[in-house]
């Protein structure tokens, strides 16, 4: 079964046994993190303005490299629900385990979405489709507009 989040102009579905946390900060209009019962998580950061996607991805990857210096990454481009996503796929080692993170960015209306999904690789075979489905449910809906401002 799925739970839904439909607030602040953002609508998505996620497994009901996963935990959703919502936050706001000075830089972003909205931060959502959905965490599995194990190691996987999916994060959405919504910025109020259209940011440079390549720069945002590079900054996000640089922050991850500070924590995981051995991180290896590759550029990617994909389309989900008709929305082109610029991205980076990365792997890193932590406590002798390999983890994979997918970082995606797109413009939605006047906003910028940054989507991160991450899982320890042994769990990834069970969670990859779920993480992708959360992204699909988000992008299948309408983009934020001035009428759905989250401030």
DSSP structure string for 66-107: HH-TT-EEEEEEEEETTEEEEEEEEEEEETTEEEEEEEEEEE
Query: Considering its fold, how many domains does the chain have in total?
Result: 1
Give the pLDDT confidence of 28-61 residue by residue, as tens digits: 788 999 999 988 999 999 998 999 999 999 999 9
pLDDT above 80 (res 23): yes
7: domain CATH number? 3.40.1000.10
Confidence category of residue 142, pLDDT binned at 50, 70, 90: low
pLDDT of residue 91: 82
Reply yes or no on whether the pLDDT at 131 is more than 80: yes
- Is the pLDDT score of 145 beyond 80? no
Q: When comparing pLDDT for 8 and 100, which is higher?
A: 100
| pLDDT at res. 149 | 39
143 pLDDT higher than 70: no
Q: In terms of residue numbers, what domain contains 15?
A: 2-148
Cα-based distances in Å from 62 to 12, 36, 55, 57, 115: 28, 25, 10, 8, 16
Average pLDDT, the chain: 87
Q: Is the pLDDT of residue 9 over 70?
A: yes
């Amino acid at each position: 079964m799925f739970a839904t989040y439909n607030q602040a102009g953002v609508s998505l579905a996620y497994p009901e046994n996963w935990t959703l946390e919502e936050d706001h900060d000075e830089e972003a209009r909205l931060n959502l993190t959905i965490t599995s019962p194990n190691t996987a998580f999916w994060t959405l950061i919504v910025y109020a303005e259209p940011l440079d996607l390549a720069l945002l991805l590079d900054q996000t990857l640089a922050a991850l490299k500070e924590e995981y210096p051995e991180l290896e990454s590759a550029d990617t481009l994909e389309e989900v629900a008709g929305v082109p996503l610029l991205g980076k796929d990365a792997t890193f080692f932590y406590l002798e385990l390999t983890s994979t993170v997918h970082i995606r960015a797109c413009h939605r209306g006047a906003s910028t979405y940054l989507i991160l999904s991450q899982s320890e690789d042994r769990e990834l075979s069970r969670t990859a489709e779920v993480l992708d489905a959360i992204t699909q449910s988000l992008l299948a809906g309408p983009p934020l507009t001035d009428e759905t401002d989250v401030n």
